[in-house]
């Protein structure tokens, strides 16, 4: 598999994603968005960062790059697509995934470790886990609060498209365990099909043992990125 890690001006987690994928033995390359997806692309990661300086809304400008039409076409062909943090914001701004990510309840940039509960273990991004399993991943965002209408959230829930929720260490989904005020504690969602997903926490920062162990994150991110193996 050749995974395209799509870089925009202001991406800053592209090399981390590449290193994490390399560690997992996944053939991957960074692709400048203006160059378009290589013809042999069979996986796409839209990495984190501050594309276009988060102007207008985080992810709004990158979502309008022509490469996102190619990403959509690849997804339609069954290629797995994962958006991480700014990539999640780009995913929702481009309509690949539902809802929106907006300013944290704290109105501050937050960089911390959180717990996530796996809500649907029947996807390429979660098949390494059991449903209800609690993961530890880092977050680092100012605009990570998931918003969606009540009706649309109910639809997502009934379609099993909520992938991860913020929870406490025991797996309880509580307001206290919700770092940014996300509706329904939602931390990650699926697009129309289960091979398209976005999440605000950073699996690529919790994959390499040399980095993950000292910073306390562990290596749960490897299970998410295993979708590309």
Ligand X SMILES: NC(=O)CC[C@H](N)C(=O)O
Cβ proximity to ligand X, 41 vs 89, nearer residue = 89
Q: Is 48 in the site for ligand X (CB under 6 A)?
A: yes
Q: Is 223 in the site for ligand X (CB under 6 A)?
A: no
* Gap between the Cα atoms of 31 and 43, Å rounded: 12
Cβ proximity to ligand X, 142 vs 191, nearer residue = 142
Q: Is 143 in the site for ligand X (CB under 6 A)?
A: yes
Strand bridging mode 100-102 / 41-46: unpaired
Q: Is 58 in the site for ligand X (CB under 6 A)?
A: yes
Site residues (CB under 6 A) for ligand X, limited to 95-124: 109
Q: Is 49 in the site for ligand X (CB under 6 A)?
A: yes
Q: What is the CA radius of gyration of the chain?
A: 16
Pair 136, 179: CB distance under 8 Å: no
Of 33, 115, 141, 205, the one binding ligand X (CB under 6 A) is 141
Least distance in Å: CB of 116 to ligand X?
16
Could you tell me the CA-to-CA distances from 58 to 26, 100, 213 in Å, in that order? 29, 10, 30
Q: Could you tell me which stretch among 45-53, 148-156, 161-169, 176-184 binds ligand X (CB under 6 A)?
A: 45-53
Pair 68, 62: CB distance under 8 Å: yes
Cβ proximity to ligand X, 91 vs 223, nearer residue = 91
Q: Is 7 in the site for ligand X (CB under 6 A)?
A: no
* Residue 5 parent element (H or E): strand 2-7
Cβ proximity to ligand X, 48 vs 99, nearer residue = 48
Pair 190, 161: CB distance under 8 Å: yes
Q: Is 179 in the site for ligand X (CB under 6 A)?
A: no
Least distance in Å: CB of 24 to ligand X?
20
What does the DSSP 8-state code read for residue 89? H
**Size of the chain in residues:** 229
């Amino acid at each position: 598999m050749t995974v395209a890690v799509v870089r925009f001006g202001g991406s800053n987690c592209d090399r981390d994603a590449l290193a994490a994928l390399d560690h997992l033995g996944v053939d991957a390359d960074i692709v400048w968005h203006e160059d378009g997806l290589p013809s042999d692309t069979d996986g796409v990661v839209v990495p984190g960062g501050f594309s276009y300086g988060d102007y207008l809304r985080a992810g709004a400008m990158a979502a309008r790059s022509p490469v996102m039409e190619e990403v959509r076409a690849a997804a339609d062909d069954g290629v797995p697509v994962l958006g991480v943090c700014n990539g999640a914001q780009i995913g929702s701004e481009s309509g690949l995934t539902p809802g929106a990510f907006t300013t944290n309840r704290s109105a501050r940039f937050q960089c911390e470790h959180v717990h996530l509960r796996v809500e649907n273990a029947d996807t390429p991004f979660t098949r390494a886990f059991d449903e209800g399993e609690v993961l530890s991943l880092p977050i680092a965002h100012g605009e990570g609060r998931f918003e969606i209408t009540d009706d649309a959230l109910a639809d997502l829930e009934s379609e099993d498209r909520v992938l991860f929720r913020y929870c406490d260490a025991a797996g309880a989904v509580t307001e206290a365990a919700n770092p940014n005020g996300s509706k329904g504690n939602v931390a990650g969602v699926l697009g129309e099909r289960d091979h398209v997903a976005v999440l605000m926490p950073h699996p690529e920062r919790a994959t390499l043992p040399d980095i993950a162990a000292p910073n306390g994150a562990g290596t749960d991110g490897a299970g998410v990125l295993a979708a590309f193996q």
